[in-house]
Amino acid sequence: MEYTPSFMTLVSLYAAEPVEFSDLKPVTLAMWILESARGASQLASEHRNFAGMKWRTEMKPYGKRVNYEAHDGDGYYTEFNSLEDFLRGFWAFLDRSPYDGWRDRAADPAAFIRFVGPIWAEDEAYADKVLGLEEEARGLLAGAGALTNEAGLEDGVFATGDPGDSGGHTTLVSGGGLALSGDGKRLLPSGGLTIAYRGDDACPYGVTATNNRAAFAAIVLHHNSPVHTTDWYVQYQIDGDPGRGGHHFGYHIYVAPDGRIIQGAPMTKRTNHVSGDNRVRRSIGRFANNTNAIGITCSEAGLVSGDRTVGSRPTQAQTDAVFSLVWLLCDLYGIPFSHVWGHGEIQTTRHRSEGSAQAQEIRSWQN
């Protein structure tokens, strides 16, 4: 079976999440396998909705209303703020009046789904379909996030790219993934990845950089000129630029030529890394902006001739680090790979190569 990275992250979260009726975990996960096509549905990949849940006002604490064209036509569905909010929202959705009585059947998963199923979906065979996936779900929960695949990778190791393509490049991301500090500011990696933290939310721009901040929905990849070192760029971001009124907050994350990863801004802040002027924005990725996109730069990777940028040449260490980092960030924030772009792809005032090759490979991961 093939599962998307976000779906496997959801499984890991659910396995560890304390719920009132833990015996219902396998059958409810089986619902999500069916509803989301193992995480591959558009509703799941773009809106973190793995259960086909329509919009109801009770979902306001967990997400927002979006228009979505399902198999039965257009309608309003719920886009969840995070995978954690999906888990909370699912149980809150069940506690609405149409499902009154489900708690009386919670001791018996089969009785539960045979009661809930006909209300949840207009399909007489729905409960049988879900029960047919219950053992698969039970195995996923038992594995608690191990991604199995035909490449024979060990538990906790994720492959990007095509392992069978000797001409391609495969990056392995070991360990668990990324988490956030309790205040949401700092990225905390587990296993195989190190991120140095230099964020300072008291720096000149940092004090106002929460204005209009939105949930992350995209990632934009950049490069910087080799005129300055990585550490210089990080410090420049912290100090601010007097020529810009002291207001400058370049990127959330810097990747040095040797592969070092430095978080330059708290994840609670927006950063100034793409233009908001639609006159210089291409149609691709136009919705990604400073308020909702994570900015990652490969420092010193720009190729310059005189005062002109003529290309981009990230080191292999930078590319490996970017692939690992983006994979884990997409898992953490529920961002689809299709929402990763190079700065040069989306903005006409940047060299077309900036971030483009890396972003194009990342977008191919979901194909």
Judgement on whether residues 139 and 168 belong to the same structural domain of the protein = no
Percentages of the chain per state (helix, strand, coil), in multiples of 5: 35, 20, 45
Nearest to 210 by CA among 250, 267, 130, 268: 268
Q: Is 149 part of a structural domain of the chain? A: no
Judgement on whether residues 188 and 130 belong to the same structural domain of the protein = no
Q: Is 248 part of a structural domain of the chain? A: yes
Judgement on whether residues 121 and 165 belong to the same structural domain of the protein = no
CATH of residue 253's domain is: 3.40.80.10
For 230, the domain range is 157-364
Q: Is 127 part of a structural domain of the chain? A: yes
pLDDT tens, position by position, 222-233 = 998 888 899 888
Higher-pLDDT residue of 150 and 310 is 310
pLDDT of residue 156: 32
Inform me whether the pLDDT recorded for 60 exceeds 90: yes
Tokens of 136: 């698969």
Could you give the CA distance from residue 116 to residue 121 in angstroms, rounded to a whole number? Answer: 9
Judgement on whether residues 217 and 255 belong to the same structural domain of the protein = yes
How many structural domains comprise the chain?
A: 2
pLDDT of residue 43: 92
pLDDT tens, position by position, 242-253 = 665 555 668 999
Which residue, 143, 168, 201, sits at the end of a domain?
143
- Total number of residues shown for the chain: 367
pLDDT of residue 243: 65
CATH of residue 137's domain is: 1.10.530.10
Place of tokens 């990324």: 178
Q: Is 229 part of a structural domain of the chain? A: yes
Judgement on whether residues 164 and 265 belong to the same structural domain of the protein = yes
